Amino acid sequence: MKGKTKRESTTMLTQRMLPQDANPAGNVHGGVTLKYIDIAGGTVAMRHCRTNAVTASIDRMDFLQPVYVGDLVTFKASLNYTGRTSMEVGVRVEAENMFTGEKRYCASAYLTFVALDKDGRPHEVPPLILETDEDHRRWREAEARRAIRKQERQRERESQRAAQTASLNEQGDDESC
């Protein structure tokens, strides 16, 4: 399968935030920001693999500054890493005050997407061609995040098995009384 560069799928989504996007505090609701992060990230993933791609996880969602109603918000998304069927996309969120022109770095996130074939099964993705030192750095950091996610999933499985075993043992003790 022929590889692709980050430039071939990088996406920038711009959205003006309106009153219906506000939370009770009057700022843009975090869930609205997450929605657009997911849309921008999914666009990158689908442009890279040219098939359907679904969100598998969101990593490191950091809200750094509030987004206000009336702000013009830009979601800059690019591919960091590809596995066999998965891809990590980084999204940076910047808000611009339309009256002053002031721009603020407001949020960032890393998302993992899985490519799907027409039957909804995981589908192989093209490899990512790394062109710059920054591409290589982002790849290494994504590999480290991937390793941490795998370790966390393994710990969760072990914890769940231990809880199930303890529950079964407690049930067995109750029956012997």
175 within domain boundaries: no
Is 171 a member of any domain?
no
The token pair that represents 156 in the structure block: 């969760």
Nearest C-alpha neighbor of 32 from the set 104, 93, 80, 98: 93
> Around Cβ 92, how many Cβ atoms within 10 Å?
17
Please tell me the predicted confidence (pLDDT) of residue 177.
55
Residue 150 lies in a domain: no
Per-residue pLDDT 10s for the chain (177 aa) are 899 999 999 999 999 999 999 999 889 999 999 999 999 999 999 999 999 999 999 988 999 999 999 999 999 999 999 999 999 999 999 999 999 999 999 999 999 999 999 999 999 999 999 999 999 999 999 999 999 999 998 999 999 988 888 877 777 666 655
Q: Which domain holds residue 16?
A: 4-129
Supply the pLDDT for residue 175.
60
| pLDDT given at position 170 | 78
Measuring CA to CA, how many Å separate 47 from each of 31, 114, 119, 125, 147? Answer: 24, 13, 19, 11, 25
Q: Where residue 65 sits, what CATH number does that domain have?
A: 3.10.129.10
For residue 2, give the DSSP letter: -
- Report yes or no on 106 lying in a domain: yes
- Residue 78: its H or E element: strand 72-82
Integer Cα distance of 74 and 136 in angstroms: 25
Domain-located, residue 160:
no
Residue 156 lies in a domain: no
With respect to residue 151, please indicate whether it lies within any of the assigned structural domains: no
Q: Is residue 68 part of a domain?
A: yes
Give the number of domains in the chain: 1
